[in-house]
Amino acid sequence: MKIYTTQQEVEKDINDGVLAINGDVKFECFISISASINAWDINARNINARNINAGNINAWDINAWDINARDINAWDINAWDINAGNISYSAFCCVYQSIKCLSIKARREKYQPPICLDGKLEYKIQESSLVGKIVEVKIDDKSYRAKIID
């Protein structure tokens, strides 16, 4: 596992606008970079980045342009686009464009449902027989109509 303790250590590993790490990474410092992050698992308090491509993301706050991940577990998420498997957040999950995921759930009793300012929340499923159909989706106590995409 690669462990970063300072912003300078992170900046030294950025090549051609990409922070590429083979394996897991842990940030023990606040980072703010104008680069993409490519890693398997990310464990951090705060992430500010353009693009994040990872297997699993565990963070307090995520501020990014695009997030592509298998699973996201964060306190707050602020992004342009999110494409993920399962998303778990504390109180806020806001994006400018869209969220595509298998599931999304707030962990707090008092929370804001996911917000997509210019796009929409789309649920991915693994069973292709429902692709293209409109279904009712329950998020906590609220019902929503959703179109199944692949």
Of 70, 23, 27, the C-alpha closest to 49 is 27
Give the pLDDT confidence of 57-94 residue by residue, as tens digits.
888 888 888 888 888 888 888 888 898 888 988 888 88
**Could you read off the pLDDT of 31-57 as tens digits, one per residue?**
777 777 888 888 888 888 888 888 888
- 142-147 and 134-139 beta bridge pairing: antiparallel
83-89 LR contacts (CB < 8 Å, sep 24+): 85/124
Q: Which of 92, 70, 91, 90 is nearest to 82 (CA)?
A: 70
* Residue-wise burial string across 25-47, b where 16 or more C-beta atoms lie within 10 A, e elsewhere: bebeeebebebbbbbebbbbebb
Q: Where are the domains of the chain?
A: 2-123
**pLDDT attached to residue 53:** 83
Res 149 pLDDT > 80? no
pLDDT band at 110; cut points 50, 70, 90: very high
